[in-house]
Structures are given as C-alpha cells and as structure tokens.
Amino acid sequence: MKKFWTLRYTMINMLYFVAFCTVHAYAGVYLLDKGFTNTQVGLALATANILSVFAQPFVAGIIDKGGILTNRLVVMFSSLFLCAGSLLLIFVDGIKVPIFVIFVLMYMIQFVYMPIMIAMNFEYAKAGCNINFGLARGMGSAGFAITSFFLGKAVADYGTKVILFVTIVSMALMSLVVFFFKKPTDGEKNSETDDTDKIKESSGEKTGKDSGNIFVFAKRYPFFIVFLLGTACCFFAHNMINDFMIQIIRNLGGNETQLGYATFLQAILELPVMALIGIVLKKISERHLLVFSAVSFFVKTAILLFATALIGMYISQSFQMFAYAVFIPASAYFADNVMKENDKVKGQAYINSAITLGGVFSNLVSGRLLDGFGVHTMLSVGLAVCLAGVIIVIIAVYPMMSKKFLKGGNQ
C-alpha cells in the first residue's frame, strides 16, 4: 500500500465530491423539501459559510504549527462527522430546528476540510509520494458528475432521503480509505526529495516564522489578500448559481431531473481540464490562468442571466470547464508557490475562506432577492459583483499592477 498514491488520492477526491454533491448541490432541494423557505435556505447556508470562514484558517493554523493534528486526521474525522450527521438527519426528519443545526454543521465541516485535503496533496508530494493532483481532482469532479446524474432522478422518484443514504455510504468509505492513506516516514522518502529538502533548508527557501493571525498574514502577503477579495466576488455569483440552481431551473421550466443533468454536465467537463492542468501550467503561468478563470465566471453568469430556455442553462454550465475547473488547481499552485513553508496550509485555507465568504453574502442576498424580485434580479446582482471580482483579480495577480495599489509584500 506504499504505492498507488495517485489512485488512492483519487479515491479520496471522488468520495469527497460524491458527498459534496449531496450536501451542497442538493442543499436547496433537501431544505425546501423539509419546509424551509428560500430566505430560510439562504440563512442556513449563510450561517454555515460564516462559521467555516473562521473555522478554516483556525484549523489550518493549528496544523501548520505541527503536533498531533494532521491533514490526514482532519480529513478522516470530518468524513466520520458527515456520516454521523446524515444518520441523525434521518431520525429527526420533519423537525426543522435540529435539521437546521445539523445541516449547517455538515455544510460547514465539508467546507473546512476541503483546503486541508488539497494541502495534504502537497504534503505527501514533499514526502516523496508521486501524486497527479490535477488528475485526482478532475476525477473528483467526475464523482460529483456521476452522482448528480443519477441523484436528480432518484430524488424525483424516491424523495430526499436518498441524499442522506448516499452521503452515509460515501463518507464511511472515505474515512476507511483515508485511515490507510499514511504518509511515508522520513526514511522512506526518495533521495530526490531528500536532496531538495536539504537545499531548501540550507537556503532558507520558503521558510520563516508562522504568520500567525490574519493581520500578520495580511501584512506579509497584501497582494494575496486582494486576490482573496476578488475570489470572493467571483464566487458570489458561482455560489448563487449552485445553491439556488433548482429555483433557476424551475424558472426555465425544468425540475430535479434537469438539475441532475445540469450539475452532471458542469462537473464532467471539469475532468479533462483538471487532469491536464499540470501540462498547461508548464506553458502558461497560474496567474494568467486565474485571470482567464475569473473572466469565465463572468461569461457563465451572463449567459445564464439572458437564458430563456433550458438550453441556455446548459450552455452556461459548460463554462464551468473554463471557470471553476481552471481556478481550483491554479489557485492551489498559486498559493503553494507564493507562501512560505509555515503558511502553506493557511494559504489554501484562506482561498477556501474567500470562496466561502462569497457564499455567505450570496446566501444572505440571494434568498431575499428570489422571494422579493425573482430569478432575473438575483442573477443581475450576481453578474455585477462578478465583474468587480474580475477587475480585482487582475490587479492582484500581476505584480506590476498590484504594486500600484500596495506597498511591500512577498510576490
């Protein structure tokens, strides 16, 4: 079991995104079925996002300091929590308060350990494990896609309890796979990795004191903080579409079955892009790719805004391959390249916190906009915020431009 690192890391990603599909993509479907209004759904998701914004860097900071809490343990225990939470939801069916609390915690935990799972890849790679991150992450999207394709029809036929059963099975299997996914000891590292580590240690490359809290981190990486703001704006629109997709589809004449097809399409198109991202990054800088993905988020939202039939929604979802599929691996490499060694996990966590923060504002605003003004107004607001995000990302990722707005910082 010391080999097949990519295969096992791929299994972890696929199982994670099976549950990501059930908990996140079908959050609106599940909560609406339990009697929640659009505003209450938005409140539940916003609460979960707010909690995860604080929890992600907190947990990452503990891991960065070293000690008993590792990336692997956080991933394993988080998977077990999601499994237990789904079991509890089966027994409290029909009681809104416990459903709200349990679902919020599950939604929050799943966001918290996403960047930890990404950081685990870089940690294991440094230990000599040959992992194809792009392929593994792309197969995660494939797991999401396959789940969504069948889950939409299953929910339409058998009800929302199917969502909970799929979550239980996937998270139980994931916790088992992660349990055996143990990093090689120092003596098992390959010589190439050891030599690289020695060079880095002797030269002081990417090392330094832990940046501590957010204020110290911001002083050390001001350009990165600006990038996080742009990320939050882009994902404001992205989360708006994902969390309220069922309402958008119903507005275009579809139902849960079309939701399954739509989420399948966007997820399966992520696979080839993420699988090949390692090759692309050898030709194109991750900074250029981040700008490209931000523009694609804008185009995706614009197409959906002006869609008058389900075909427009499918075309919009196709842009996922240029938006989300490019952003996730490019931002992971961007953070790993610009962060000092003791800040790497926090860097990944702050990106996910920015994504989550975009979701917070999206959830708070979108539910009210839907109830008060409808789908078109909601998407118009999302498009405007996304445009601001594109501009901010361009300013942040290009050193010559960011220097006009910022002083100091490590780029």
* Alpha carbons 215 and 61: distance in angstroms, whole number: 13
Per-residue confidence in pLDDT tens, the chain, 411 aa:
456 888 999 999 999 999 998 998 788 888 988 988 888 888 888 888 788 878 877 887 778 777 787 888 989 999 999 999 999 999 887 788 999 999 999 999 988 888 788 888 878 888 888 888 878 888 887 888 888 878 878 888 888 899 999 999 999 999 999 999 888 766 555 444 443 343 233 333 444 455 556 777 778 778 888 899 999 999 999 988 887 888 889 888 888 788 878 878 877 888 788 878 778 888 888 889 999 999 999 999 999 999 888 899 899 988 988 998 899 888 888 887 777 777 777 787 788 788 878 877 887 888 788 888 888 999 999 999 999 999 999 988 876 555 555 554 445
236, 361 contact by CB (below 8 A): yes
Biggest CA-to-CA distance, the chain: 63
Helix/strand/coil (H/E/C) assignment for every residue in 343-366: HHHHHHHHHHHHHHHHHHHHHHHH
CB contact at 8 A, 364 and 43: yes
290 close to 284: Cβ distance less than 8 angstroms:
no
Give 186-195's long-range contacts (Cβ < 8 A, gap of 24+).
188/2, 188/127, 188/128, 189/127, 189/128, 190/128, 192/128, 193/126, 193/127, 193/128
Per-residue DSSP letters for 45-109? HHHHHHHHHHHHHHHHHHHHT-SS--HHHHHHHHHHHHHHHHHHHHHTTT-HHHHHHHHHHHHHH
Residues 6+ apart with CB under 8 A from 93: 34, 99, 161
Q: What is the pLDDT of residue 409?
A: 47
Distance, in Å, from the CA atom of 163 to the CA atom of 166, rounded to the nearest integer, reads 5
Question: Is the pTM for the entire model greater than 0.85?
Answer: no
Question: CA-to-CA distance for 310 and 331, rounded, in angstroms?
Answer: 31
Which residues, in sequence order, are CB contacts of 3 under 8 Å at separation 6+?
Answer: none
For residue 218, what are its two tokens?
A: 């911001």
Q: Tell me, rounded to whole angstroms, the distance of Cα 262 from its chain centroid.
A: 18
> Domains in the chain, ordered, with CATH?
5-182+212-402 (1.20.1250.20)
